[in-house]
Structure 1
């Protein structure tokens, strides 16, 4: 399973990191997840996965339940109590950093990524920024994950109130979100680190004749590297001068490269704050 990532500057040192929408994979992943408790128990009891794999299965099951509950709130009539809860949820979700959304989009099944970046940028600089965001994510989201877990018992005490336990479900969502971002950071860091070992730099390609005597396994690895750097002249043209990319240009980039517009615009909002 491979994915296409887009990396480009929006304003100054503020760069955008986003994954292209892959509808086929998202639909297949959702179809494989258990939909009922009975289905979940059957998969756990019949699977040969280790304990960690079963825990991930339970987490995905809980995430699907939360997504269905959120979809139910979207159908609530305006002015109703459920509609107000949805408005509160949207306000909280708007505070989630775009880098976290990007790292959450990197699944553990990923075997390679194709990084598209403006042709005016240096490939080594783009790869270095990818390594930086992945390495930082492994540290930041691990700390936030453990912090959210410790808050779950505290917020569960609000269940005695005759109202929906919004704090508990929000902390539960943040726990899941940080866990996904942590796993995505680890996977991205693994792919980027492997690429630096498996891919030859342009300086070495002309003077290293010994590479022609590699084994079949190494040749196969070079044909299917974990990271492919692809400079795009079209992306460079859409960005313009790149000093301060406008909202209209960002929307055009989203249409051409099939990106989630809301995720990209979050990076622009981040540069203004």
Structure 2
């Protein structure tokens, strides 16, 4: 199993899990089969109901948090035929392994209780959604959505717990009461004794160190968004509150190249060089959500 740490900005990263490990889970095999059938809908005629269903369904799925997609891609501990003894973590040299390790630990501390909580919420709504079966000739969309969210939270929870288990193999925990320098030294010492093997990826460095493509990442607070995006957040004459741009407005504005941000050309380059299936979709989703969150914090909350 390999993890990729790819900066979208200098202080915002995306994670991607590439696993070809055989699984013993029948549920996972069924879901993988269903996913292949779903992706086949994309090949349908543009005006067909299959294509329209695929486009709308994909838009809904893209609203799910990109970190949830990452955790879902990590195989559950119970699904593996044998335990892992090594996890390769590929990253560009501009990222410090100890910071990546600490960031992953903080992510798991937040995500595990979050997905456990909303997994049970989704389970509670399933019996209520089943009552829509009584309505004839209408697809039970509420039931399908709740089952999807129940499975999604379950997969993210099991993936997060497995990742935490793998990281807990580090003998020495970082003491939060220590000073910043002590925590950094303890994290570095722990990494060397962990099954997590952090490695600087040469293909990533060709992009982020400017060997082939010139990319100098910026921090979130210094991003210059397109003017039309800022205007889309401006309040109208009828409303005092700031407006909320539509999904189409956000997608159009954020799809543009923005200085200091990983763009679509860079993403396609990484996909070609790393030859990792699914990476383009995950990075594009992470890029959009990260930029959307930054823009919302900057413009929507700015009165």
TM-score, normalization by structure 1: 0.70
> Which residue does 1:137 correspond to in 2?
111
2:106 aligned with 1:106, yes or no?
Answer: no
Asked if 1:190 corresponds to 2:165, the answer is yes
Change (3 A) 1:76 1:203: closer
Does structure 1 residue 245 correspond to structure 2 residue 243? Answer: no
Q: Report if the CA contact (8 A) 1:63-1:176 is conserved.
A: no
Say whether 1:127 aligns with 2:146.
no
Deviates more, 1:65-74 or 1:122-131: 65-74
**Match of residue 10, structure 1, among 8, 31, 36:** 8
Q: CA deviation at 1:101?
A: 0.9
Aligned to 2:246: none
Q: Secondary structure at the match of 2:115?
A: helix
Structure 2 residue aligned with 1:262 = 281
Q: Structure 1, unaligned stretches of length 5 or more? A: 35-58, 205-220
In structure 2, the partner of 1:163 is 138
Classify 1:191/1:157 alpha carbon distance in 2 versus 1 (closer, same or farther; 3 Å): same
Looking at structure 1, the residues matched to 131 and 106 of structure 2 have their Cα atoms a distance apart, in angstroms, of 39
Secondary structure of 1:163 counterpart:
coil
Q: CA deviation at 1:68?
A: 6.2
Q: Once the 2 structures are TM-superposed, how far is the Cα of residue 62 of structure 1 from its aligned partner? A: 5.7
Cα-Cα RMSD = 3.1
Query: Given the alignment of the two structures, is residue 90 of structure 1 paired with residue 58 of structure 2, yes or no?
Result: yes
Per-residue CA deviation, residues 23-68 of structure 1 (Å, 9 max, x unaligned), is x53xx44xx555xxxxxxxxxxxxxxxxxxxxxxxx4466357436
Q: How big is the shift at 1:170?
A: 1.5
How big is the shift at 1:268? Answer: 1.1
Partner of 2:258: none
- Extract unaligned runs of 5+ from structure 2: 174-182, 187-191, 209-214, 219-260, 293-303
**Equivalences for 1:198-217 in 2 at 5 Å?**
none
- Does the aligned pair in 2 maintain the 1:135–1:185 contact within 8 Å? no
SS of 1:272's partner is: helix
CA positional deviation for 1:70? 3.0
TM-score by length of 2: 0.64
1:226 aligns to what?
195
**Could you say what secondary structure the match of 2:199 adopts?**
strand
CA distance in 2, matches of 1:196, 1:233: 29
Between stretches 146-155 and 104-113, larger displacement belongs to 104-113
Distance 1:163 1:73 in 2: 21
CA contact (8 A) 2:6 2:92 kept: yes
User: What does residue 120 of structure 2 align with?
Assistant: 146
